[in-house]
Protein backbone atom coordinates (compact mmCIF):
# COMPACT_ATOMS: atom_id res chain seq x y z
CA UNK A 1 0.00 0.00 0.00
CA UNK A 2 1.36 3.40 -0.95
CA UNK A 3 1.83 6.32 1.43
CA UNK A 4 -0.95 8.15 -0.41
CA UNK A 5 -3.36 5.26 0.17
CA UNK A 6 -2.44 5.16 3.85
CA UNK A 7 -2.98 8.89 4.03
CA UNK A 8 -6.62 8.42 3.14
CA UNK A 9 -7.18 10.90 0.32
CA UNK A 10 -4.44 11.44 -2.25
CA UNK A 11 -4.55 14.34 -4.68
CA UNK A 12 -6.74 13.57 -7.70
CA UNK A 13 -5.00 12.16 -10.75
CA UNK A 14 -4.37 14.50 -13.66
CA UNK A 15 -6.78 12.52 -15.86
CA UNK A 16 -9.53 12.73 -13.25
CA UNK A 17 -9.09 16.50 -13.16
CA UNK A 18 -9.22 16.72 -16.96
CA UNK A 19 -12.33 14.50 -16.99
CA UNK A 20 -14.00 16.59 -14.29
CA UNK A 21 -14.01 13.79 -11.70
CA UNK A 22 -12.19 15.69 -8.96
CA UNK A 23 -15.38 16.43 -7.00
CA UNK A 24 -15.10 13.80 -4.29
CA UNK A 25 -15.44 14.47 -0.58
CA UNK A 26 -12.34 15.33 1.42
CA UNK A 27 -12.08 13.82 4.92
CA UNK A 28 -11.11 15.84 8.02
CA UNK A 29 -7.57 17.10 7.49
CA UNK A 30 -4.79 19.11 9.08
CA UNK A 31 -3.36 21.73 6.71
CA UNK A 32 -0.08 23.60 7.15
CA UNK A 33 1.79 26.37 5.36
CA UNK A 34 5.23 25.21 4.22
CA UNK A 35 6.76 28.07 2.24
CA UNK A 36 4.81 28.19 -1.01
CA UNK A 37 3.17 24.80 -0.43
CA UNK A 38 0.05 23.89 1.52
CA UNK A 39 0.40 20.39 2.93
CA UNK A 40 -2.35 18.12 4.19
CA UNK A 41 -2.36 15.29 6.70
CA UNK A 42 -5.41 13.08 7.21
CA UNK A 43 -4.07 10.81 9.96
CA UNK A 44 -1.54 11.17 12.75
CA UNK A 45 1.73 9.35 12.22
CA UNK A 46 1.89 9.77 8.45
CA UNK A 47 3.90 12.34 6.54
CA UNK A 48 2.06 15.43 5.22
CA UNK A 49 1.64 15.56 1.44
CA UNK A 50 1.59 18.57 -0.88
CA UNK A 51 -2.01 19.48 -1.70
CA UNK A 52 -1.78 23.05 -3.05
CA UNK A 53 0.92 25.35 -4.34
CA UNK A 54 1.16 29.14 -4.28
CA UNK A 55 3.46 31.47 -6.17
CA UNK A 56 4.26 33.43 -3.01
CA UNK A 57 4.89 32.52 0.61
CA UNK A 58 1.69 33.87 2.19
CA UNK A 59 3.01 33.71 5.76
CA UNK A 60 5.49 36.54 5.09
CA UNK A 61 3.55 38.87 2.78
CA UNK A 62 3.02 42.59 3.36
CA UNK A 63 0.45 45.11 2.09
CA UNK A 64 2.58 45.52 -1.05
CA UNK A 65 1.39 42.23 -2.61
CA UNK A 66 -1.95 42.24 -4.42
CA UNK A 67 -2.24 38.76 -5.97
CA UNK A 68 -1.24 35.17 -5.17
CA UNK A 69 -2.03 32.19 -7.38
CA UNK A 70 -3.58 29.10 -5.76
CA UNK A 71 -3.02 25.79 -7.55
CA UNK A 72 -4.18 22.25 -6.80
CA UNK A 73 -1.55 19.52 -6.91
CA UNK A 74 -2.73 16.76 -9.23
CA UNK A 75 -1.09 13.38 -8.93
CA UNK A 76 0.96 12.06 -11.84
CA UNK A 77 0.20 8.54 -13.08
CA UNK A 78 2.20 6.14 -10.96
CA UNK A 79 5.02 7.49 -8.81
CA UNK A 80 6.05 11.09 -9.49
CA UNK A 81 9.60 11.39 -10.77
CA UNK A 82 11.89 14.19 -11.93
CA UNK A 83 10.88 13.46 -15.53
CA UNK A 84 7.19 13.05 -14.69
CA UNK A 85 6.47 15.23 -11.64
CA UNK A 86 3.09 15.89 -10.11
CA UNK A 87 1.28 18.62 -12.02
CA UNK A 88 -0.72 21.58 -10.77
CA UNK A 89 -4.02 23.07 -11.84
CA UNK A 90 -4.67 26.79 -11.33
CA UNK A 91 -8.06 27.09 -9.63
CA UNK A 92 -8.05 30.40 -7.74
CA UNK A 93 -6.39 33.79 -7.45
CA UNK A 94 -6.12 35.22 -3.96
CA UNK A 95 -6.41 39.00 -4.17
CA UNK A 96 -5.86 41.93 -1.83
CA UNK A 97 -7.02 45.53 -2.24
CA UNK A 98 -5.18 47.86 0.12
CA UNK A 99 -6.59 51.19 -1.08
CA UNK A 100 -9.13 52.39 -3.61
CA UNK A 101 -7.61 53.25 -7.02
CA UNK A 102 -5.56 56.42 -6.66
CA UNK A 103 -4.25 55.42 -3.26
CA UNK A 104 -5.92 58.23 -1.29
CA UNK A 105 -9.21 56.66 -0.22
CA UNK A 106 -9.91 53.50 1.73
CA UNK A 107 -11.73 50.52 0.23
CA UNK A 108 -15.53 51.09 0.30
CA UNK A 109 -17.49 48.94 2.75
CA UNK A 110 -19.29 47.14 -0.08
CA UNK A 111 -15.98 45.85 -1.48
CA UNK A 112 -13.56 43.33 0.08
CA UNK A 113 -9.97 43.85 1.11
CA UNK A 114 -9.24 40.12 0.65
CA UNK A 115 -11.07 37.84 -1.74
CA UNK A 116 -10.83 34.59 -3.69
CA UNK A 117 -11.34 34.83 -7.44
CA UNK A 118 -12.36 31.71 -9.34
CA UNK A 119 -10.26 31.11 -12.46
CA UNK A 120 -12.75 28.93 -14.36
CA UNK A 121 -16.54 29.10 -14.31
CA UNK A 122 -16.59 25.29 -14.51
CA UNK A 123 -15.01 24.69 -11.10
CA UNK A 124 -15.32 25.94 -7.55
CA UNK A 125 -17.98 27.83 -5.63
CA UNK A 126 -17.53 31.11 -7.44
CA UNK A 127 -15.70 34.14 -6.09
CA UNK A 128 -15.99 34.99 -2.40
CA UNK A 129 -14.80 37.97 -0.36
CA UNK A 130 -14.21 38.47 3.36
CA UNK A 131 -16.50 41.13 4.84
CA UNK A 132 -15.60 42.49 8.27
CA UNK A 133 -18.50 42.53 10.69
CA UNK A 134 -19.25 45.36 13.07
CA UNK A 135 -18.30 42.84 15.74
CA UNK A 136 -14.60 42.72 16.55
CA UNK A 137 -12.70 39.87 14.90
CA UNK A 138 -15.66 38.49 12.95
CA UNK A 139 -15.95 38.07 9.16
CA UNK A 140 -18.50 36.75 6.72
CA UNK A 141 -17.43 35.29 3.39
CA UNK A 142 -19.90 36.47 0.77
CA UNK A 143 -20.40 35.98 -2.98
CA UNK A 144 -18.91 38.71 -5.15
CA UNK A 145 -19.87 40.58 -8.28
CA UNK A 146 -16.48 41.04 -9.92
CA UNK A 147 -17.76 43.42 -12.61
CA UNK A 148 -17.76 46.45 -10.30
CA UNK A 149 -20.50 47.95 -12.47
CA UNK A 150 -22.10 49.86 -9.59
CA UNK A 151 -18.85 50.66 -7.76
CA UNK A 152 -17.49 54.21 -7.89
CA UNK A 153 -14.01 52.70 -8.23
CA UNK A 154 -14.98 49.70 -10.43
CA UNK A 155 -14.00 47.34 -7.61
CA UNK A 156 -15.53 43.90 -6.93
CA UNK A 157 -18.58 44.20 -4.70
CA UNK A 158 -20.42 41.93 -2.29
CA UNK A 159 -23.64 40.58 -3.79
CA UNK A 160 -26.45 42.46 -2.06
CA UNK A 161 -28.44 40.45 0.53
CA UNK A 162 -26.44 37.29 -0.18
CA UNK A 163 -26.05 34.70 2.57
CA UNK A 164 -22.63 33.92 4.00
CA UNK A 165 -20.95 30.75 2.74
CA UNK A 166 -18.58 30.62 5.72
CA UNK A 167 -17.99 32.77 8.80
CA UNK A 168 -14.75 33.36 10.68
CA UNK A 169 -14.71 34.47 14.31
CA UNK A 170 -12.27 34.71 17.17
CA UNK A 171 -13.45 32.59 20.09
CA UNK A 172 -11.12 32.81 23.04
CA UNK A 173 -7.64 32.63 21.55
CA UNK A 174 -8.64 30.63 18.48
CA UNK A 175 -10.21 31.49 15.12
CA UNK A 176 -13.17 29.28 14.22
CA UNK A 177 -14.65 28.69 10.75
CA UNK A 178 -18.35 27.80 10.48
CA UNK A 179 -20.63 26.98 7.56
CA UNK A 180 -23.82 28.77 6.51
CA UNK A 181 -25.81 26.87 9.17
CA UNK A 182 -23.40 27.84 11.95
CA UNK A 183 -21.79 24.40 12.20
CA UNK A 184 -18.08 24.48 13.04
CA UNK A 185 -16.13 23.10 10.07
CA UNK A 186 -12.56 24.10 10.94
CA UNK A 187 -10.33 25.60 13.62
CA UNK A 188 -7.12 27.56 13.22
CA UNK A 189 -4.41 26.21 15.52
CA UNK A 190 -1.94 28.88 16.71
CA UNK A 191 1.73 27.88 16.71
CA UNK A 192 3.95 28.56 19.71
CA UNK A 193 6.85 29.63 17.48
CA UNK A 194 4.76 32.41 15.94
CA UNK A 195 4.56 30.76 12.51
CA UNK A 196 1.32 30.64 10.51
CA UNK A 197 -1.58 28.91 12.21
CA UNK A 198 -2.51 25.46 10.97
CA UNK A 199 -6.03 24.67 9.80
CA UNK A 200 -7.78 21.66 11.32
CA UNK A 201 -10.74 20.84 9.08
CA UNK A 202 -13.13 18.93 11.33
CA UNK A 203 -15.80 17.89 8.85
CA UNK A 204 -15.84 15.92 5.63
CA UNK A 205 -16.51 18.41 2.81
CA UNK A 206 -17.15 18.34 -0.90
CA UNK A 207 -13.93 19.20 -2.71
CA UNK A 208 -15.25 22.57 -3.95
CA UNK A 209 -16.20 23.64 -0.41
CA UNK A 210 -12.96 22.26 1.03
CA UNK A 211 -10.78 24.10 -1.48
CA UNK A 212 -12.64 27.38 -1.02
CA UNK A 213 -12.23 27.05 2.76
CA UNK A 214 -8.49 26.45 2.34
CA UNK A 215 -8.18 29.44 -0.03
CA UNK A 216 -10.02 31.70 2.43
CA UNK A 217 -7.79 30.48 5.26
CA UNK A 218 -4.80 31.41 3.09
CA UNK A 219 -6.27 34.92 2.77
CA UNK A 220 -6.52 35.11 6.56
CA UNK A 221 -2.90 33.98 6.97
CA UNK A 222 -1.94 36.68 4.45
CA UNK A 223 -3.96 39.29 6.35
CA UNK A 224 -2.30 38.40 9.65
CA UNK A 225 1.13 38.55 8.03
CA UNK A 226 0.45 41.95 6.41
CA UNK A 227 -0.91 43.44 9.63
CA UNK A 228 2.20 42.28 11.47
CA UNK A 229 4.62 43.89 9.01
CA UNK A 230 6.08 47.37 9.65
CA UNK A 231 4.10 49.91 7.67
CA UNK A 232 5.92 51.28 4.63
CA UNK A 233 4.82 54.51 2.92
CA UNK A 234 3.77 54.18 -0.69
CA UNK A 235 5.49 56.44 -3.22
CA UNK A 236 2.32 58.52 -3.48
CA UNK A 237 2.09 58.94 0.30
CA UNK A 238 5.77 59.86 0.46
CA UNK A 239 5.35 62.46 -2.31
CA UNK A 240 2.32 63.99 -0.57
CA UNK A 241 4.19 64.15 2.74
CA UNK A 242 7.16 65.89 1.11
CA UNK A 243 4.87 68.37 -0.66
CA UNK A 244 3.05 69.24 2.58
CA UNK A 245 6.36 69.62 4.40
CA UNK A 246 7.73 72.02 1.78
CA UNK A 247 4.51 74.05 1.74
CA UNK A 248 4.29 74.35 5.53
CA UNK A 249 7.88 74.51 6.71
CA UNK A 250 8.78 77.75 8.54
CA UNK A 251 10.81 80.42 6.80
CA UNK A 252 13.93 81.97 8.34
CA UNK A 253 11.70 84.65 9.93
CA UNK A 254 9.50 81.99 11.50
CA UNK A 255 6.54 82.84 9.22
CA UNK A 256 4.98 79.94 7.34
CA UNK A 257 4.76 80.05 3.57
CA UNK A 258 1.30 80.56 2.15
The pLDDT value recorded for residue 132 is 94
pTM to 2 decimals? 0.80
The pLDDT value recorded for residue 80 is 54
Distance spanning both ends of the chain, measured CA to CA? 81
| pLDDT tens digits along 37-87 | 999 998 888 899 999 999 999 999 999 999 999 999 997 765 555 555 689
The pLDDT value recorded for residue 71 is 98
Q: Find the angle CA(113)-CA(50)-CA(64) to the nearest 5 degrees.
A: 25
Q: Where are the domains of the chain?
A: 3-248
- State which residues of the chain have pLDDT below 50: 1-9, 13-15, 17-20, 252-258
The pLDDT value recorded for residue 18 is 39
Q: Kindly write down the DSSP assignment for every residue of 73-86, as one continuous string.
A: EEBPSSS--SSSPP
Give the C-alpha separation, 250 to 248, whole Å: 6
Amino acid sequence: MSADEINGSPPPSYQDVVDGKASDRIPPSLLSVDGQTITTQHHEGVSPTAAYRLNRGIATLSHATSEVTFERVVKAHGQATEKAPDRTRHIYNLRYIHKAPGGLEGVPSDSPHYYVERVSSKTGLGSLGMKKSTLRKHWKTLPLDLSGKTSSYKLPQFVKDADAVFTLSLQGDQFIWADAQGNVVAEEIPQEDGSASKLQVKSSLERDSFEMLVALWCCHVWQQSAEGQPRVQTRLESALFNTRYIMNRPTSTGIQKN
